[in-house]
Structure 1
Amino acid sequence: MMTKKVAYIGCLGLIGIITTEFGVIGILPQIAAYYQLTIAQAGVLLSAFALVIALTGPLMTLLFSGFDRKKIMLAAISVFLITGIVSSFAPPFWLLLTVRILPAFLQPVYISTAIAAAVASGDKKHEHQLMGIVLGGIAVAMVTTVPLATYLAGWFNWRASFMVQTGVSALAFLGIWKALPLMPVAGKKSYGSQLMILKQPAFLLSTAMNFFMIAAWFSTYSYFADYLGKVKHMDEKMISYMLFLFGITGVVSNWISGKMLSKSIPKTTAVFLLGTILIPFALQYSGTNIWVTIGIIAVWGFFYAPCFLNASAYMISAAPHALEFANSLATSFGNLGVSVGTMVSGWIIVSNGVEFSPWVGLCFGILSLSMIGLRSLIEKHC
C-alpha cells in the first residue's frame, strides 16, 4: 500500500512542477505581446529554465543524494510555489525570467528523489510501473492544469496562468507534507561509484538518445500555441481545448508505455519515437481541415507523452546501480533537449516561419533513433 502512496504523492508534486515549467507554452504569444518581444525571445522563459536544469541537474542531485527524501521534495516544491506567486504579479521581464530560473536548480533533484523513493518502496519487478506513476504527473498536468492555465489566460489574461501554477504547487506542498513520512537515505553511495557510469559507452549513447528525442518533441511542442494559431488558424480557447485533448491521449499512452517497458525498453522507446517522423508529415498534409487536425493532435499527444518515462527507463537500463544519478542525468539532458530544441526551432521560425518547426523535430527524431541502433549494435558485440 505504501508503494502506491509514495508514487502518487511524487506524481502530485510533479504535476506542480510541470505546470510551472510548461504552463507558459500556451501563453507565450500573450507574454510576447505584453512585454513587446518576439515569440522566440519570449521562448527564453522555457529554454532558459531547461538550460539551467541541463547544466546543474547532476551536480545538484549528487549534492542532495544523502538528505532525507521528504525534506528535499518539500524544499523543491516551496521554490516552485514562490515562483508562481511572484510571476502572477507580472513583474519586469528580467525579474520574471529570474524567478523562472530559480526552481530549475531543484527540478531534477525532485524528480530523481521522487522516483527513487517510489522504486525503493516496491518490488524490482514493478519498478517501471512505479516510475510510470510518478512520471505520469507530466501527462496529468498536460490534460488538466496546463490547458486550464491556457484557458483561463484566454478568459482573463496571462497572469491567471501563473495563479493556477501557484495553486497546484500549494496543493503539492500540502500533499507531501501531510501524507509522506520522513524518508532518510540508508547507505549513501559514494560520488565516485555513481560517476563511473559516465565511462560506459551504452550509457553515453542512451544520454544522446534522450537529448535528441526531447529536442525533437519540443522543437514543435514549445511553439504549440503559436503553430496552431498561425498555421491552423485556431483561437486561444480552441488551443486550450487542443492542449486538453493532447493531454488526454497522453495519460493513456503513459500507462501503456509503462506496461510495454516491462517487456522491452528499446522497442518501446523506438515505437514512440516514430511519432517524431510521422507527425510532421501528418501536420503538413492535413491543411486547415479542423477535424483531421484534431485527430492528428490526439495522435501527437499519444506519441509525445511517454518521452520522459521512456528516456529515464532507457538510461537507467544502462546504469541500474546508480538509479538516482542516472535519473538526474536523464532529466538534465532531457531539459538540454528542451532548451536546444526550443532555441533551434525558434531560429528557424524567425527566418522561415512557425510552419517549419515540425521538420526540425523530424531531424532530431532521426538522430535519436540512430542512437538506439548504435547502442543495440554495441551491446550485441559485447
Structure 2
Amino acid sequence: MTSASPAPARPHLTGPPRTGRALTPRGINLALLALALGGFAIGTTEFVAMGLLPELAADLLPAVYESSPEDATAQAGMLISAYALGVVVGAPTIAALSARFPRKKLLLVLLVAFTLGTVASALLPSFTLVLLARFVAGLPHGAYFGIAALVAAELMGPGKRGRGIAIVLSGLTIANVIGVPAITFLGQNSGWRVAYLVVALLFALTFVAVWLVVPMQAGDPGATMRRELKAFSRIQVWLTLAIGAVGFGGFFAVYTYVAPVLTEVTGLDASLVPVVLVFAGLGMTIGNFVGGRVSDWRVIPGLFIFFGFLMFALLGLALTAHTVVGLFVFVFLVGAASSGLSPVIQTRLMEVAEDSQTLAAAVNHASLNLGNSLGAYLGGVVIAAGYGYLSPTWVGLALCVPAVILVVLSVIVAARGRTQSHRRADLGLQKDAVLDGTLS
C-alpha cells in the first residue's frame, strides 16, 4: 500500500508567463514604471484632499466654515472617507467579476474610470455631488492595484514578488513626496478644482503609458466569481484584512489631519503643509521598499516589526508635535512604518487566499481604505468633540493594539492548522500501516 497522500502544495503566487513574448530587462522596467505611474496618480488623487481640507471646507461648506472652521474641516474629511468607501465596495466586486479578463485591457478600462471620476470631482458644484464623485472615483482603486500587482509579480518572477508589489506601490508613496505636495501647493494657490483637473491629466497620461509598454497578459481562464469569492470562506483572509483595516486606520487618523496639526498645534504657516507632506512621502517611499524586501524574507515577523515601529512613531508624534523637529521627524517615521506594512500585508493575503489570487490582490486595498475611512472618521469625531487636532494621533496609537492582537491570533490559527494537518497525515500513515499488515 502507498502512504497517505501528502498535503497539497502551496499554490504559486505567480503563474507561468503569459505575456506571449519574452521581455527584455528594459521592457520589464518600462512596464513596471508605467504601472507605478498609475500608483502615482492614485496616490495623488487619494491623498491630496488631506492637504487641501481647509480649502475644500471653505469652498464647499461656506456657512459651516464661517461659524466653525473645526466643524467644517471635520465634515470635509467625509470626502476622504467617501473615496475610501468606494475602494472598499469596488475592489472585491470588480476583482471577482473580472478575474478572467485580459489584464492589460482591464487596467486601461480602470484608468478611464479614474479619469472620468476625477474630472467629475473637479467640476461638480456642491458638497453632496463632490462626495458622490469621490465615492465613484474610488471604485477602481483596489482592482487597479490588485491587477497591477499580479502583472508586476509575473514580470519579476518567483522569489521577487514582494519587490514587484513594492515597485507598483512605489508610485503611491512617491506621490506623497512629489505629487501630493505639488498638487497641494497648486490647490492652495489656484483652487482645489484646478488641482483635481491636473490629477485627471495624470490618469490620462498613465492610460497612454500602460497602452504603450505594458505587455498583454491573459486573465485566469479558470477563474469564476464563485472561486474568487471562496477566499472569503477562509479565516486567515478575514484576519489579514482586519489587520490591514485596523492598523492603517491608525495611520490615516493622523495623516488626514496633518494640515491643521501643522498650523494649529505646531504653529507654522499653511504654506509649509506641502513640506511636511514631502517628509511623510519620503518616509512612505523608504518604508515601502523596505517592506517589499521584508515580505520576501518573512511575512509574520515583518508585521510585528512594522507595527512596533508604527506605535513608537505615533507616540513620538503625540508627545512632540508641538515642536517643529518633532513634527517633521515623527511624520516621516509614521509614513515609513505604515508604508512598510503595505507590501507585507499584500503578500500575506496572496499566501492565504490560495487560488483566489485576483481577489486577494485587490481586497488588500479595500481593507487599507477601510482603515482610511475608519481613521478619517474617528479623527474627525475626536476633533469635533473638542479634544484638539492632536487627538487623532492617540486614536491611531489605540488602533495599533487590536491590530497586533489580530496578528497574534493569525499566528495561533496557522499553528493549529498545521497541527491538525500533521495529525491527519499521521492518522493516514497509521491506517496504511494497518492495511499493509492485514494484506501481508
Taking only the aligned residue pairs, the percentage that are identical comes to 23
For residues 172-191 of structure 1, the C-alpha deviation after alignment (integer angstroms, 9 at most, x for no partner) is 11111222233332523233
Out of 358, 370, 377, the position equivalent to 2:405 is 370
**Conserved in 1, the CA contact under 8 Å of 2:41 and 2:203?**
yes
Corresponding residue for 2:348? Answer: 314
| Per-residue deviation, 1:200 | 2.2
Alignment of 1:1-382 (within 5 A): 1=25, 2-35=27-60, 36=62, 37=64, 38-89=72-123, 91-286=125-320, 288-351=322-385, 352-382=387-417
| 1:317 aligned counterpart, secondary structure | helix
**Conserved in 1, the CA contact under 8 Å of 2:43 and 2:173?**
no
Letter of the structure 1 residue corresponding to residue 228 of structure 2 = Q
Distance 1:190 1:299, change over 3 A: same
Please give the alpha-carbon distance, in whole angstroms, between the structure 2 residues aligned to 1:65 and 1:301: 32
| Per-residue deviation, 1:347 | 0.9
Please give the alpha-carbon distance, in whole angstroms, between the structure 1 residues aligned to 2:183 and 2:269: 15
Give the 4+ runs in structure 1 shifted more than 4 A.
none
| 2:217 aligned counterpart, secondary structure | coil
**Conserved in 2, the CA contact under 8 Å of 1:250 and 1:305?**
yes
| 2:361 aligned counterpart, secondary structure | helix
Unaligned runs of 5+ in 1: none
| 1:91 aligned counterpart, secondary structure | coil
For residues 70-94 of structure 1, the C-alpha deviation after alignment (integer angstroms, 9 at most, x for no partner) is 2211111112222333333462222
**Conserved in 1, the CA contact under 8 Å of 2:39 and 2:168?**
yes
**Conserved in 1, the CA contact under 8 Å of 2:82 and 2:132?**
no
Distance 1:75 1:153, change over 3 A: same
Bigger mean CA deviation after superposition, 131-140 or 186-195: 186-195
Distance 1:163 1:236, change over 3 A: farther
Bigger mean CA deviation after superposition, 75-84 or 65-74: 75-84
Please give the alpha-carbon distance, in whole angstroms, between the structure 2 residues aligned to 1:83 and 1:150: 19
| 1:305 aligned counterpart, secondary structure | helix
| Per-residue deviation, 1:203 | 2.1
| 1:88 aligned counterpart, secondary structure | helix
| Per-residue deviation, 1:287 | 5.1
Letter of the structure 2 residue corresponding to residue 21 of structure 1 = E
Of structures 1 and 2, the larger Rg is shown by: 2
**Conserved in 2, the CA contact under 8 Å of 1:6 and 1:117?**
no
Letter of the structure 1 residue corresponding to residue 256 of structure 2 = S
| 2:156 aligned counterpart, secondary structure | coil
| Per-residue deviation, 1:221 | 1.0
Q: CA RMSD in A?
A: 1.8
Letter of the structure 1 residue corresponding to residue 287 of structure 2 = S
Distance 1:56 1:82, change over 3 A: closer
**Conserved in 2, the CA contact under 8 Å of 1:15 and 1:141?**
yes
| Per-residue deviation, 1:278 | 1.6
Distance 1:65 1:290, change over 3 A: same
| 1:234 aligned counterpart, secondary structure | coil
| Per-residue deviation, 1:27 | 0.1
Q: TM-score, normalising length from structure 2?
A: 0.82
Letter of the structure 2 residue corresponding to residue 8 of structure 1 = L
Letter of the structure 2 residue corresponding to residue 324 of structure 1 = T
Unaligned runs of 5+ in 2: 1-24, 65-71, 418-440
| 2:390 aligned counterpart, secondary structure | helix
Distance 1:112 1:284, change over 3 A: closer
Distance 1:62 1:366, change over 3 A: same
